[in-house]
Structure 1
Amino acid sequence: MTQLGSRSRSSLFAAIAFSFFASVLHPLLAHADVKLPGFFTDHMVLQQEKPIRVWGWAEPSENIEVSIEDDRATAIADDQGHWMVELPARPASADPVAIKVKGKNEVQLTDILVGEVWLCSGQSNMEWRVQSSVNAAEEIASANFPQIRHMKVPRVPSPVAMDDAPAPWQVCSPETVGQFTAAGYFMARRLHQELNVPIGLVNSSWGGTRIEPWTPPVGFEGVEELKDISESVTQRTPGSEPFESALRGHLQSTKAWVAKAEAALAKNTFIEPAPAYPSSLTPFTSHGQPTTLYNGMIHPLIHMPIRGAIWYQGEANHREGMLYTAKMRALIEGWRAKWNQGPFPFYFVQIAPYHYGDESGSVLAKFWEAQTAALAIPNTGMVVTNDIATVNDIHPPNKQDVGKRLADLALHHDYGKTDLIAHSPVLDSMQTEDGQLRLRFKHTGGNLKTSDGESPDWFEIIGPDSGGFQTANAKIEGNEIVLSSPKVQQPTAMRFGWDKLAEPNLRGATGLPLSTFRAGEVPEFAQTVPDAAEYELVYELDLSKLGSEIQYDVDRHEAISDFDRVAYLVSLEDASGNVKSVFVSMNAFTDDIAKIGIPTVDANAKFQQSVESMNVYASDNSVSSGNEIKNGRIEFWPNNYSPNNAAKVPGASGTAFDFGDDPGMPVDGYGCMQVHNVDARQTVFAINHWKQGPGADLGIGNHSGEHKDWTFTSNAAQYASKKLQVLVRPVK
């Protein structure tokens, strides 16, 4: 047997290693065959009236020829094996053609159509399949539309931009359509029937995902509100200055540690652990992190000409309020920048009403408002779905209407059918007249109407001394609505559908529903309380200053002597900017003004008793408002307490903390300041465990857990701002 010299063995090892790594990192280098992206397959649909791009990989410097019938183009693969050609644009055609690619080998794709191509993306409501939609059996049986084609991009998050995605095209038939995106299919079906051209659906969606993973880095870079995300992405990008700077710093500290380690080894001494790799350099890899789904599921497609995109997403971001508008701008403008074909149409679906547990109804309302605000981005349109919701199912199965409305937006804006009413009615103007609000709408298609023939519902109005928003009487007058309420003498603002469960009955002439909206100037909450002007401030406290010592920001207790009623105004704002406020007043339960504030040990306050003539005004309907409430109750003490209902309060629990708790030892204990509406089985507000500062318990309305009075929630730090005012009505 011939022996190889060391140089020969090294060369052989290098050749084997190169072959192995080449096959792992880039199969094309190993095989050198001409290869196309995994979504260039038989049955593909090409976008009409745009130059046709074909690209792929081959051996470096290999000559490539691509042809479609008589159209031909050539290219030479670069030193990385990449190549791309452009063929002339073609009109829509249902006559199939072939794409032929020749290099050292030949690839041929057959049954290729030319028509309209739409990208379909988002989370589960876009991924939702035809087989799970309303009337699925009938829809599937009738799906004989061979000119509609669909491909599904695999779920692949990636820390780097990928060039390929295996996604074969399928021809629409009863055998295949069940797996298609339902919203996309029903849009495609209407477009095909109206335009009589082939339709291609590029389905790149993933249930449960947020918007940030779908957004390219360039999208974040262009939006000031998302600067922190942009910097975080850049920090993790090899080749960027922040990445290189941080890596150099880590390398220097690691080298210094190695020197110390070698010295410690020589001296047999201890040494501290090596410097940890900076977490800021760890790449984003999961499907919940920024840019990963763009990298793995969108970037491979950006050379493919499309007509536009449809987007159905938001449930995973619904707590963000107006910040979502900024994220939509980043997504849309980022995609448009990467496709480099101008401001292509982008149509999106407003998420439907859904209960979202015990979450405040205004959270979803503000998100709907943010989605509507995204219409300010050029060449966008929105489908409203509050008429086809299933409030106990986050996936409304009626995707037929969703698809039809998306198609109508495209038909109106992109295919010349400008007489088609495609947009839901929106507010055009609001005027105040004679104690009423008159709203005028556009995009109505004629006179407004209701789905049930009744008066329009879900309208509320507010004004000074109105006691918060009040249900409005709404009357249709053509394309106008007139709002009034006997409880609001001078309305200054209104809102419509302002609740997560709102399914309003108002429609445009063609049946399209209206989205949630609001208009006007809302008075400060205290100004809406009818008798608030009768009260004077005694104490005011920023509740972020809670602690073992209570130092009020305002303390006027020495300036007021006689009073006959006590009131509390509590306002809590969460991290998303949602503010909940409550004003509760009652007959004075003590004549000692020092005992009506936070019931500390020094205040010597201890009350577990009923209160008379309690009035409650709340900023939202999670708290029951009312006057002259008979069964009001307070629990004020600095003590520890138990839930055993020693006072035998009717309706109170003996095992869960609520309005029947029992103070115990030590006196300087957990602490409790609670007001309850016993008839409604409701906590009006609670401030507990104040000595813990950011670990205190704060809440308005009932807590969603076992203990309705917020005991043990330790949630104070979750609020962006929090304030307590204690007031009295002086005796004149």
Structure 2
Amino acid sequence: CNMVLQQGIEIPVWGWASPGEKVTVTFEKNTASTRTGKNGKWRVNLPKMDYGGPYKMTVKGKNFRTIENIMIGEVWVCSGQSNMEFKVKTTKNAEAEIAAANYPDIRFFTVKRRVSKEPQENLDEGEWWLCSPTSVPDFSAVGYFFGRNLYEHLKVPIGLIHTSWGGTVAETWTSAETISQDPDLAEMLGKLKNVDMNAAKVGPNAYPTLLYNGMLNPIIPYGIRGAIWYQGESNASRAQQYKRIFPNMIKDWRTKWNQGNFPFLFVQLANFKKPVAEPSESEWAELREAQTQTLQVENTGMANIIDAGDADNIHPTDKQVVGYRLSLAARKVAYGETLVYTGPTYKEMKIDKNKIFITFDQVGKGLKSNDKYGYINGFTVATKDGDFKWAKATVINENTVMVTCNEVENPVAVRYGWADNPDDLNLYNVEGLPANPFRTDTRPGKTK
């Protein structure tokens, strides 16, 4: 009980009974019947409904079951690694946030940790909770703040299905069918049958598919609007590979769910680690680049939080801003609103002697700098030998900055925010969203 079902699409309902048993599902005024297959599994699709509730569902076979307090609204899957797992009770202002969390129309479900060599169809346990000061402390903070922002804007019931595991790589959330087509990962599939699953419970990271099988497959094909994803830290040393792995994972989920190219929204890695004194290569910058390139996949959106990290903590506590920016992406990508949902994004470069002019998309009402240094921080330019030097930039019109460096007479490339922690970046749009890190060169970096 207490679940939220997705509005506006056929509602999949499934379960298990004796082989050949007739099962009838009644939900509001709609009834559907089917017979189970040889394995005892059954499924019906109920007609689409608009948001509302509470409703009651009955399932009748040899046994009879009633599910009560069901709402129809918007359902989102929340997945990834530890920054998605990060709980409301450990966020900034946690006490006040928890006290204010009276939202009975926001419901959430957390999938219990489970690894499996084979795709599982059922969940051992778990239940839907109404959002309250009692239930919210242990729920995903990013999921909650995302859902709360959506609820306050859409005014419809929100269902959040949280399935994440700290320290995990994207390929462990991907099915065997997709992994088998990746030359770098396919050979690991053959080793799975010999894996000690007790060891895997400690570190599912080392093997592909284990969490897809145990924590994602059981919730497919539950009707959803889309997914939010916060992950990448554990793939940072293999950012070039991630340019392939991550888009393939998104396509894999969409194929398995068979609900079209549903919106997939993700968080770009925050700034982290000690700021560097001199320009250098960066694993995290390359992973962010892989994430940016994934926006080429249809119906995706990215929340840039390059200004919301913590040099000393891989788990920044400001999850409110993460949820807010993901909700902006949802309003644009999933709900078709006309709004500025992301910060300035690199469009093109023009070089004129010692000056580089960078033009941006997604500038909204225009580029803006807080100008605390008298210039825009975080730019570097390259000599023809590939040496990068710190540069200064100024906004010259609503979508263009001019970059110069006294040490480089004939610059050939430019980078912005290219570091694990590009400290104190100060280029935004008027709407207050930070410019996305980028580079114009394609030289090999640190990652494979």
The one-letter code of the counterpart of 2:391 is: A
Using the TM superposition, give the Cα deviation of residue 113 of structure 1 relative to its aligned residue in structure 2, in angstroms. 0.2
Q: Does 1:462 find its partner at 2:382?
A: yes
Does the 8 Å contact 1:493/1:521 carry over to 2?
no
Using the TM superposition, give the Cα deviation of residue 574 of structure 1 relative to its aligned residue in structure 2, in angstroms. 8.6
Choose which of 384, 394, 402 in structure 2 pairs with 1:475. 394
Choose which of 319, 322, 333 in structure 2 pairs with 1:413. 333
Using the TM superposition, give the Cα deviation of residue 468 of structure 1 relative to its aligned residue in structure 2, in angstroms. 2.1
Using the TM superposition, give the Cα deviation of residue 329 of structure 1 relative to its aligned residue in structure 2, in angstroms. 1.6
What secondary structure is seen at the aligned counterpart in 2 of 1:298? helix
The one-letter code of the counterpart of 1:232 is: M
Supply the distance in 2 between the matched residues of 1:87 and 1:298 (Cα, whole angstroms).
22
What secondary structure is seen at the aligned counterpart in 2 of 1:322? helix
Paired residue for 1:73? 32
Paired residue for 1:302? 220
Q: Does 1:184 find its partner at 2:143?
A: yes
Paired residue for 1:648? none
Using the TM superposition, give the Cα deviation of residue 361 of structure 1 relative to its aligned residue in structure 2, in angstroms. 5.3
Over residues 236-277 of structure 1, what are the superposed CA-to-partner deviations in whole Å (9 max), with x where a residue is unaligned? xxxxxxxxxxxxxxxxxxxxxxxxxxxxxxxxxxxxxxxxxx
The one-letter code of the counterpart of 1:111 is: N
What is the TM-score normalised by the length of structure 2? 0.93
Supply the distance in 2 between the matched residues of 1:280 and 1:205 (Cα, whole angstroms).
21
Computed over aligned residues only, the root mean square deviation of the Cα atoms, in angstroms, reads 2.0
Using the TM superposition, give the Cα deviation of residue 115 of structure 1 relative to its aligned residue in structure 2, in angstroms. 0.4
Report how many residues are paired.
435
The one-letter code of the counterpart of 2:354 is: G
Using the TM superposition, give the Cα deviation of residue 302 of structure 1 relative to its aligned residue in structure 2, in angstroms. 1.1
Paired residue for 1:322? 240
What secondary structure is seen at the aligned counterpart in 2 of 1:388? coil
1:325-364 equivalences in 2 (<5 Å): 325-355=243-273, 362-364=282-284
Choose which of 312, 315, 331 in structure 2 pairs with 1:392. 312
Choose which of 194, 198, 201 in structure 2 pairs with 1:282. 194
Over residues 703-732 of structure 1, what are the superposed CA-to-partner deviations in whole Å (9 max), with x where a residue is unaligned? xxxxxxxxxxxxxxxxxxxxxxxxxxxxxx
Using the TM superposition, give the Cα deviation of residue 452 of structure 1 relative to its aligned residue in structure 2, in angstroms. 5.0
1:153-232 equivalences in 2 (<5 Å): 153-165=111-123, 166-222=125-181, 226-232=182-188
What secondary structure is seen at the aligned counterpart in 2 of 1:140? helix
Distance 1:521 1:185, change over 3 A: closer
Choose which of 396, 418, 425 in structure 1 pairs with 2:344. 425
Q: Does 1:508 find its partner at 2:420?
A: no
Which runs of 5 or more residues in structure 2 are unaligned?
none
Using the TM superposition, give the Cα deviation of residue 442 of structure 1 relative to its aligned residue in structure 2, in angstroms. 0.8
Supply the distance in 1 between the matched residues of 2:366 and 2:247 (Cα, whole angstroms).
33
Does the 8 Å contact 2:273/2:310 carry over to 1?
no
Choose which of 375, 388, 392 in structure 1 pairs with 2:295. 375
Using the TM superposition, give the Cα deviation of residue 220 of structure 1 relative to its aligned residue in structure 2, in angstroms. 2.3
Q: Does 1:97 find its partner at 2:55?
A: yes
Which structure has the larger Rg? 1
The one-letter code of the counterpart of 1:336 is: R
Does the 8 Å contact 1:217/1:334 carry over to 2?
no
Supply the distance in 2 between the matched residues of 1:339 and 1:373 (Cα, whole angstroms).
23
Does the 8 Å contact 2:376/2:426 carry over to 1?
yes
The one-letter code of the counterpart of 1:114 is: I
Supply the distance in 1 between the matched residues of 2:193 and 2:135 (Cα, whole angstroms).
43
Kindly, what percent of the aligned residue pairs are identical? 40
Of stretches 291-300 and 452-461 in structure 1, the one that deviates more from structure 2 is 452-461
Choose which of 15, 23, 27 in structure 2 pairs with 1:64. 23
Distance 1:88 1:317, change over 3 A: same
Choose which of 348, 351, 359 in structure 2 pairs with 1:440. 359
Distance 1:361 1:141, change over 3 A: farther
Distance 1:163 1:356, change over 3 A: farther
What secondary structure is seen at the aligned counterpart in 2 of 1:174? coil
Using the TM superposition, give the Cα deviation of residue 356 of structure 1 relative to its aligned residue in structure 2, in angstroms. 7.8
Does the 8 Å contact 2:271/2:308 carry over to 1?
no
Choose which of 403, 407, 416 in structure 2 pairs with 1:496. 416
Paired residue for 2:231? 313
Over residues 652-684 of structure 1, what are the superposed CA-to-partner deviations in whole Å (9 max), with x where a residue is unaligned? xxxxxxxxxxxxxxxxxxxxxxxxxxxxxxxxx
The runs of at least 4 consecutive aligned structure 1 residues that moved more than 3 Å come to 451-454
The one-letter code of the counterpart of 2:96 is: E
Structure with the greater relative contact order (CA < 8 A, sep ≥ 6): 1 or 2?
2
